[in-house]
Chain A
Amino acid sequence: MLLEVENLHVFYGRIEAIKGISFTVDEGEIVTLIGANGAGKSTTLKTISGVRPVAQGRIIFEGKDITKMPAHKRTEIGISQAPEGRGIFPGMSVMENLEMGCYVRKDRKSNTRSADLARVFELFPRLAERKTQAGGSMSGGEQQMLAIGRALMARPRVLLLDEPSMGLAPMLIAQIFDIITEINQQGTTVLLVEQNATQALRRADRAYVLETGHVVKSAPADQLLNDPDVQAAYLGGH
């Protein structure tokens, strides 16, 4: 297993947002966490990235317990994230935002870095056209591309994506999901959080359904796509 989350509990003050969830992500998979607003999806990703403290339970990455590892070290060992709301540094140019993606990489000055940059520009030609534009002045779709491209600059072993389709037009959503699939086919493991369950389930290998801090269902994605409960709750009932 690449990533294992075991009986995870996370609190905001005295409120328990994650109430003992467990799931796994295997090398090469796209795994998706779906669930309504407030179910605890973002909290789960933030905790895996190390920016929320774990109250109880364990996070295992490549067989190593990283539950207490500081956030900046987790980027180094191969966990990177495109956060909810994209988290673009508004005053930085596209290039600078991408540079932030490989902030911790030891080989950030080498050819591998230029190769990664070339790969990002190939996936998102739009970014190549706008290298010097300020991140804050880009459209939502462009910012999402930048957020994913930036996360790729870390050469992640697992890429955490938090609602990449949020606020985008349907055309753009399809395009973003195509690119996520392509990134996965190039060999990057993806943990995808979505409210847009239809798209997420179509692209993912396996899925977990989160409700108020609990995993209420887990199954291969295509199976959940045809599950009547899931259809009623998350797929608009058809």
Chain B
Amino acid sequence: MTLSLGGFLTFAGFLSRFWPSTITGLVLGAVYALVALGYTLVYGVLRLINFANSEVFMLSAFGSFLTIEVLNIPQRLASGGDPIKTGWELVGVLALCLLVSVLIGGLSAVLVERIAYRPLRQRNAPRLVFLISAIGASFAISEAVGEWGPQRRKEYALTKFFKKEQLFKIFGADVYNSNVIVVVGAAIMALALVLFVSKSRVGRGIRAVAQDAETAKLMGVNVDRIILITFLVGGLMAGGAAFLYEIHTPFARYDVGFSIGVKAFTAAVLGGIGNVRGALLGGLLLGLIESWGSSLFGSDQNIGNVAAFVTLVLVLMVRPSGLLGESLGRSKA
């Protein structure tokens, strides 16, 4: 009796928190979706899970933080100055951080490809070796930052460098400027990526390699170059995601990539690994389910994770190749 009443009360609570938790879910989902793109693109061309994608995310997160430090914003806040509120200064700071974050993401992803994977490809290494190299690269980067990074293993938290302001309400739920920046920013990046993959010549090259690498070579596609570009693009997305995540949660640590990476990888599998649209759909769904889950079953974030993974298992039971199934190969984008 008490149990069911308790359950009912939680459910009533869930309904009353539905829109706020939906907004949180969209924000999380936008970040997951961008990171998931990196997993899915690389899987498409190499049939490899690039575990170091999460560390690309982590490096970029540190990159945007360091940029804010270099701009002296924390000192300004410490000496009683205002956080940046609006106007061109905010736009400038955000644009600069995004640029740094994206560049670090792209560059580190390219380095990972060059150092951890290309030498193996040139030696025709077995698949398992690639996997081990992927895990090794992931650990090496995160441990290096843990040992020698700016805050070692401690959390690198930043006083909010800009002021969150409520912009408007949706169905009674507050929508903050940070929410809008994250969702709109992610949407623009995802759209740019979808257009690049589906419309550009190089995007066609990426799809050709994913669908049939040997025939792509016969068409004159430089497969090594396409692989490098694929890592670059995946890294740009992870970099952008890291910056957006920092706006939502201004905190970074040497292992921040891990939890995000697991979610994003899950999102990619949920949507159908290798499938660009699947990664976007999977990311958004996972963010929403996680947020709704923790709202429904209590505020503990772990409950949200449980809900997300239970959903993954259920979906894979019914559709083993994910929601949109087909790989980058078979689908049109």
A residues contacting B by CB (< 8 A) are 46, 49-51, 70-76, 80-81, 83, 87, 89-93, 96, 99-101, 103-104, 134, 136, 150, 154
B residues contacting A by CB (< 8 A) are 201, 204-205, 207-208, 211-212, 214-223, 326, 328-332
Which of B204, B219, B220, B332 interacts with A134 by CB under 8 Å?
Answer: B332
Contact indicator B211/A89 (Cβ below 8 Å) = yes
Which single residue of chain A is at the shortest CB-CB distance from B328? A91
Contact indicator B220/A51 (Cβ below 8 Å) = no
Contact indicator A89/B207 (Cβ below 8 Å) = yes
**B-side contacts of A154, CB under 8 Å:** 219-220
**A-side contacts of B331, CB under 8 Å:** 91
Which of B204, B211, B214, B221 interacts with A90 by CB under 8 Å?
Answer: B211
Which single residue of chain B is at the shortest CB-CB distance from A70? B222
Which single residue of chain B is at the shortest CB-CB distance from A77? B220
16 more A-B residue pairs beyond the given contacts A72-B221, A87-B218, with a C-beta to C-beta distance below 8 A: A46-B214, A51-B214, A51-B217, A51-B218, A71-B218, A75-B219, A80-B218, A83-B218, A89-B215, A90-B330, A91-B211, A91-B326, A99-B201, A100-B216, A103-B220, A103-B221
**A-side contacts of B221, CB under 8 Å:** 72, 100, 103-104
Contact indicator A104/B208 (Cβ below 8 Å) = no
Which of B208, B220, B223 interacts with A92 by CB under 8 Å?
Answer: B208
- 30 A–B contacts, CB within 8 A, in A order: A49-B217, A49-B218, A50-B217, A51-B218, A70-B222, A72-B217, A72-B220, A72-B222, A73-B220, A80-B218, A81-B218, A87-B212, A87-B218, A90-B211, A91-B328, A91-B330, A92-B204, A92-B211, A92-B332, A99-B201, A100-B204, A100-B221, A101-B219, A103-B204, A103-B205, A103-B220, A104-B221, A134-B332, A136-B330, A154-B220
Measured in the bound complex, the distance between the Cα atoms of B215 and A101 in whole Å is: 10
Measured in the bound complex, the distance between the Cα atoms of B331 and A99 in whole Å is: 18
**B-side contacts of A89, CB under 8 Å:** 207-208, 211-212, 215
